[in-house]
Every structure is written in C-alpha cells, then in structure tokens.
A and B are shown apart, each in its own frame.
Chain A
Amino acid sequence: MANIEVIKISDELWEIPRQAEMHVPGRIFASEILLDAIRNDDSLRQVMNVAFLPGIIGYSYAMPDIHCGYGFPIGGVAAMNLDEGVISPGGVGYDINCGVRLIRTNLSVKEVKTKIKALVTAIFHQVPSGVGSHGAIAKLTQQQLRQVSLNGARWAIEQGYGNEDDLEFIEDRGMLTEARPDCISTRAFERGATQMGTLGSGNHFIEVSQVVELFDEQAASAMQLFPGQIVVIVHTGSRGFGYQICDDFLKTTLQAARKYGISLPDRQLACAPLSSPEGQEYLGAMRAAANFAFANRQVIYALIEKALLHSLRISPRELGFRLVWDIAHNIAKIEEHQFAGKKVRVCVHRKGATRAFPPNHPDLPRIYQAIGQPVLIPGDMGTESYLCVGTQKAMEETFGSSCHGAGRVLSRHAAKEKACKMDLFAELEKSGVFVLAQGKETIAEEMPFAYKDVRQVVETMHRAGITRKVARFTPLGVVKG
C-alpha cells in the first residue's frame, strides 16, 4: 500500500507534488472512493516514477482506472518533448495497440433475445480464441507480415475482410505511417505468423451487448445508435507479434538508457531518447505492431459479421453491421498539442488510456466533427460498458486522453482464489450474461469482482469534463479466450 502525499485539487483531481527527481508533478483523476482503491497497490509510486523520465512535460497523469502495471501504471499518460524526451516500450506495454472496436447493428434486443446463445456460439466458432488458436487465415510469411506492418487494417480489407469505408471509423484510418518492419526480429515475425485474426486469451473478449441508455441523443444519432439496439464490442491487440517487439525493445532500451546516461527508478521503465537511433527504431517497430493490431481487429470484425449473417440467415443490409469506432489504448504517438501557450509536437504515451480528441479536431472523420471522438470504455463482463466522446478540456488538461476500462482491484491470482468455489458460468448466466470461453482460468481471473465499478470511472471523467457520456451498454453474451 502506497503512503504517498496526495493533494486534493478538486473532487475529481488529485496531485502528487513534485519531489526527489520528479521532473513534473503527478495528477490523478479519481473520486475519493476510487483514490482509496488506487492506494491499495503500487500505482501511485509508478505515477511518480514516470515523472522521473527525461523530457516529460505537464504532469505524469493517471486516469481513474489506474492500477499497478510493470514500470508504467496501467491507466497512465505521459507526454514527452521531442527534443529532450524519451520513448519507453514499457509506456506502451506488451500488447501494443491493444484496443477496442464498437460495432452497431440494425438488430434490436427484442428480435434476438432468444437467439443470444446461438449468436455467441456462432461467434465463438468463427473467431479463433484461447491459447494455441491459430488464425482464421493461413500462416503468414514474413513478407506478408511486412505488408501487414506497413498497411494495417487496409491489408485486411485487401484480403477481403471488410470494406474501404471501415477505415473512416478507425483511429488513424487503421494505419500508422512510418512503420519500420526492418526493425522487427525474426522471433516477432515467428510469434505473429499464426495469430492474425485471433482473439487471444487474458482480458480479451468479444461481447454482444444492448444499448440500455442514451445520455446524448445528438452524438448517439451521429453514431447510428438507438435504445434496445444490439452492438458488438471487440477487445484485442497485436498478439504475440506485439509482445515480442516490446520484449526485444525493452532489452535494447535498457542498454540505450545506460548509453545515454538516463537513470531509471525501475528497469521496466527502460527508454531511449526519441531522437536516438534506438528510440526511432522502437517507434518504427511499435507502429508496425500497432498496424498488426488494426489488421487483427479488422479480420475479427469481418468474421463476426459472417457468424451473425450465417446464424440469423439475414442479408447484410438487414444486419446493418457497421463500425462505430476502433480505438487504441496501448500506444505512443507523435501529436500536436498546445502547451504553455505554444503549439508543440510531443510523444504521448497512453498505457491503458485512450485518445479523446474534441469536436472539430482535424484527425476526426467528417461525421464525428460535430460531436468529438468516440471513447470506448468497456467494463467487466458482468456489468456494463460506456461510449463517451472527447472534449476540448481533454486537449487542455490531459493531452487529449481519457480512461480505458474499469481497472482491476484484485490481482488475477486473488480473483482466482475468490472464484474457486463458485460456478462461474452459472453466476454470469444468472445475471443475464451467456459466456463461452476456452478456459475456466480466464473466467475466474476476469470476474466482475476483480474490477472497479466502471460507472465510477466513467462518471469521474464525465464530471471532470474530460469525456462526455453518450451511451451505456449491458452485456448479453461474451466470448473469452
């Protein structure tokens, strides 16, 4: 438990004063109740440690879903000056471009309530999940993986998974430019070769949900959402390809930190100057992994559509399967922001945090210009998820960032211990959620009691003015790896 001095700035914002070798103070978005939960692990210490990194500007930020990570806290945001700042693979995480995709349909819960089990089962059989699951598409060669690395979601569309129009609704149109496949190890290519179009295990999931509440009719209408509607949420990332790239570059940047005289409070914060060859190589390799993740979610999206069409025996027009938004929540990006009255280009690390750009931002598609960027905040599999939009205040206060989920309160081990005497599938079904999973272990680790109350997390950011609530979803069926 961290005994760290925290000063109240407002009901939703707290500050860790600059001390020791911190370059900037820490800032935590949380209600008093959430802050008490946050104090139970090492995450506040990790917020301080991130503030030690050279070139960090503003604050070392923590979102209300913050929990202890490796080096960086999960739910942490750090913006680095491009001249003196660093880039850290630990500030992105192993699952590079782990993210969430929200898909709308024309279906209403009234029409399919009795078919939920069949729909979830169809998705479960169509989308490979769990350990050892191989891609729905054949093993990729290194040459093909290089194309994936460069083209992201577009690669998947060219293979017949989805349509060109989908790109409009993916962060960065599903492709980060200046990816560097030449900086990727043979081992990373090996780990990624059989995993395109796979969900994976751990906290990854596909959820069939219903829209239960709309908070902002205008934004919901722009996203073609209506009460009682069936939506699908996909949570996965760059699979073994990204894990290996992170692992490789932690090694590289540990050596680089020593070479450039950067002292680290934690080895997992290994980093390299953004201007150094090592920093640039990581940035290029990370973008390649991010593009793999965009392609992976695009393939899975098309597989889910196929499963639903086949299961319901309806036409694509009747199904109305369309992407609402695809967002990254483990990533580092070079972005332009206003800081201290000046326009600056910075490298924003978002580790378990989402981008939350405001209305009229040039990076948003035309149809979301008036409402702001969709921000997807999945809760745990037994309760609810939220759709919000970014605001101008997010640009001013958090480098355009917000929270990404409920955030753990119990470690996986503690959750499993608590779950050992429960019939988990029956518990979830009792609460109206049909779950299919490859392994019981994952279910135990991901039970609702392992997570904070997502409502409090979302409410904190809504009250702080960083994101605005648009819609609330509750799950009907879940596929877990």
Chain B
Amino acid sequence: MELFINAGLALVDLVTDLSKIARHETTILEVKAENRELLFREWLSEILYQIFVKERLFVSFRINMLSNNHLKATAIGELIDYRRHSIKRELKSITYYKLQISEHDGQLIGRFVIDI
C-alpha cells in the first residue's frame, strides 16, 4: 500500500508543490489490471488523468482495497487554481519502459518512467 501511496505523491510532486494543496475534497479512484506491475502503472495513469483532465491535485491517498489486480482508493486534495498552484510541467504518460516492482531488504521498490 505504501508503495502505491508514495509513488502517487511523487507523481503529484513532479507537477506542483505538495505543500500548496489544500484538503478540500475527496475523489474515489479505482483501477484494475492483469498483474501488480500493470496495476501500479494504471494507478499512476489514473492520477495523471485526474490532474491534467479533471484538473485535480492530491495531497494524500488512502488505499481502501488492494489486490494484485484491483485497487480502490480515496484521494484528498482540491481543484487546480492556477493563481495559487504553480504547475511545473505537463506529463504525457506513464510508460511501460523499465516498469518494475522489486523487493529489496524487505522493502518494495517501484520504478516507473514518465514521458514528458
């Protein structure tokens, strides 16, 4: 769970300053995929979609359900306000290139490459 939450926050951090995001609203996110790695990519793709299409920024995530191919979460944040939020860059997509979840010293490490 922690891996998915931290990767999600890392993605938002690439786009804007996390400390400037208020906790005004919650959004339910749900993704499905064939395996855990692809689920990881789908999760990040969903956040990217929420940012660049729905114009929502998230400051925290709560995972409600997680299996190898299904994830339900609650995302907390607010709508983008271009006067307050500085958007650093546009992200095109989460690629499949070098996508990996590995285990090291009992910790899960997720790697994803973004096209910008």
Contacts and interface: CB of A to CB of B under 8 A. Distances in A.
A189 to B, nearest CB: 10
A132 B96 contact: no
Contact of A132 (B49, B55, B93): B55
B90 interface: yes
Interface residues of A, number: 29
B67 interface: no
Contacts of A202: 89-90, 92, 116
Interface in A61-106: 70-71, 94-95
Interface string B38-54: 00000001000100110
B87 interface: yes
Interface in B96-110: 96-97, 99
A327 B116 CA distance: 21
Contact of A439 (B49, B80, B82, B88): B88
B6 interface: no
Interface stretch (A246-254, A306-314, A449-457): A246-254
Interface in A175-214: 187, 190-191, 200-202
A34 B24 CA distance: 52
A71 B116 contact: no
Given A71-B97, A132-B80, A267-B99, A191 B92 contact: no
A240 B52 contact: yes
Contacts of A270: 96
A243 B45 CA distance: 12
A71 B15 CA distance: 24
A184 B31 CA distance: 20
B90 A191 contact: no
A187 B94 CA distance: 15
B72 to A, nearest CB: 19
A183 to B, nearest CB: 18
A313 B92 CA distance: 38
A280 interface: no
Nearest to B97: A70
Report the interface size class on chain B. Answer: 20 to 34
B53 A132 contact: no
A441 interface: yes
Contacts of B94: 247
Contacts of B113: 70
Interface string A261-294: 0000011101000000000000000000000000
Interface string B66-102: 0000000000000010100011111011111101000
A416 to B, nearest CB: 11
A131 interface: yes
Of B87, B90, B97, B99, most A-chain CB atoms within 10 Å: B90
Contacts of A442: 89
Given A191-B52, A412-B116, A201 B95 contact: no
Nearest to B96: A267
Given A266-B97, A412-B116, A132 B89 contact: no
Nearest to B114: A70
B97 A187 contact: no
B49 A187 contact: yes
A287 B35 CA distance: 31
Of A130, A200, A267, A439, most B-chain CB atoms within 10 Å: A267
Given A187-B49, A240-B53, A201 B99 contact: no
Nearest to B54: A190
B55 A187 contact: no
Nearest to A264: B96
A243 B93 contact: yes
Contacts of B15: 131
Contacts of B97: 70-71, 266-268
B88 A94 contact: no
18 contacts: A70-B96, A71-B95, A94-B92, A94-B93, A95-B92, A130-B87, A132-B80, A191-B49, A201-B89, A202-B89, A202-B90, A202-B92, A243-B93, A247-B45, A254-B96, A266-B96, A267-B97, A439-B89
Given A71-B95, A187-B49, 16 more contacts: A70-B95, A70-B97, A94-B92, A130-B90, A131-B88, A191-B49, A202-B92, A243-B92, A243-B93, A243-B115, A250-B96, A266-B97, A268-B97, A441-B88, A442-B89, A481-B90
